[in-house]
Structure formats: C-alpha cells, structure tokens
Amino acid sequence: MPRHQRAFTLTELAVVALILALAAALSVPALGNAIAQARLRTVADTLADDLASARRAAITRGGDITICPSRGGRRCTPGASWHHGWIIRHGVVVLSAHDRLPGRLASHTSGGHDRIAFDGGGRSPGTNATITLCVRKRPATAISLVNSAAGRIHAEPAEAPAAGACARSGENNR
C-alpha cells in the first residue's frame, strides 16, 4: 500500500501566519482602549472615594481638610492639574497622597478649582467644583466628578465642553 503523507506547504503556513498577524494588529488597539477605559473608571472611583474621605475627615476633625492637585505628594501645587496626582491634607499635615495618573489619562477642572476644602460640617463653601477625567483624545470617555457646596460628591457623564477640554489636554502627565 502506498503511503501518502499530508503536510502543509510553506505557502499555506505563510498565509495562516499573515492572517494571525492581521488579526493581532487589529485587536491590539482595541485592547489598549479597553485597558485605558478600565483605568479611567478606577481612577474616577478612587478620586470620588478620596473626596468622600476628605469630607468624612473634615467632619471627624472639625474642618480644615483640603484635597488638591500635587506634583510631588507633599504639598498642593498651584496651577497643577488633577492628573498630576493629589493629596488630602489637614492644615499642613498630609493625610493621604495619590500618584500621577497613567499616561493616557487627562483631567480638566471647571472654574479653575485647584483645591476643594471641607469645613467641620462636611460642606465645601463656594460653588460646585467639577473635575472631569478622560482618556486623552477621546471625549466620549469623559467622566465628571461633581462636588457640591453642600459637600455631596457624585459622578456623571461629562458635558460636551468639559469632555472636549479634557480630551484636548496637551499637558497630560508632564
């Protein structure tokens, strides 16, 4: 009986390798975007938790609690954006510090709020402060954290102007 061996030709193997390479090339950007959006949701939750924590600390300690952007984690940095990181402080004592955000994430703050202070009643005197976080160059990903003058914090989809400003953030993490 004749034996017939079956094998793949070099051309067939090359075609399969090309198809796999194309599939991988098409899926990598989508995977990168999914990872960036997951990081964004995590950062938004962390900042919302830190705002709530600062409010609770103000009630517990009788006020004078501030949360603000910080480039080094030791003091508030005037003019810095929230994507550089932030600290919670009681007077001059830093209670908590958060590092800068991953490179693809950016922030935008309404009305130039570079710090949010809480008094002993848990209120944040002044106007509402809105911090918008997004994946850079992707305004549809934007999430806004709103801190009301009453000290209430909630997340909501960002309004178009804030989302656009966040997505255009040219300073991102520098």
How confident is the model over 9-63, as pLDDT tens digits? 888 888 888 888 887 777 777 777 888 889 999 999 999 999 999 999 999 999 8
CA gap 45, 24 in Å, rounded: 31
Q: What is the pLDDT of residue 61?
A: 92
Q: What is the pLDDT of residue 2?
A: 62
| Tokens 């017939």 -> residue | 4
Tell me the CATH number of domain 10-167, given options 3.55.40.10, 3.40.50.300, 3.90.1150.10, 3.20.20.70. Answer: 3.55.40.10
**What single-letter amino acid sits at 79?**
G
Judged by phi (left if over 0) then psi (alpha if -120 to 50, else beta), residue 88 lies in beta
Q: Find the helix or strand (DSSP H, E) in which 18 lies.
A: helix 10-61
Residue 21: how many other CB atoms lie within 10 Å: 10
Q: What is the pLDDT of residue 173?
A: 43
From the list 95, 153, 90, the residue with the least C-alpha distance to 119 is: 90
From the list 124, 115, 132, 117, the residue with the least C-alpha distance to 169 is: 132
Average pLDDT (132-154) is: 93
- % of the chain with per-residue pLDDT over 70: 93
CB 105 within 8 A of CB 36: yes
Q: What is the pLDDT of residue 174?
A: 43
CA gap 73, 99 in Å, rounded: 7
Q: What is the pLDDT of residue 112?
A: 67
CA gap 32, 121 in Å, rounded: 43
- Which residues, in sequence order, are bridge partners of residue 147? 129, 153
From the list 132, 145, 133, the residue with the least C-alpha distance to 104 is: 133
For residue range 108-142, what is the model confidence (pLDDT) as tens digits?
Answer: 998 667 899 999 999 998 778 999 999 999 999 99
pTM above 0.85, yes or no: no
| Tokens 């984690």 -> residue | 73
For residue range 57-97, what is the model confidence (pLDDT) as tens digits?
Answer: 999 999 889 999 999 899 999 888 999 999 999 988 999 99
Residue 172 pLDDT > 70: no
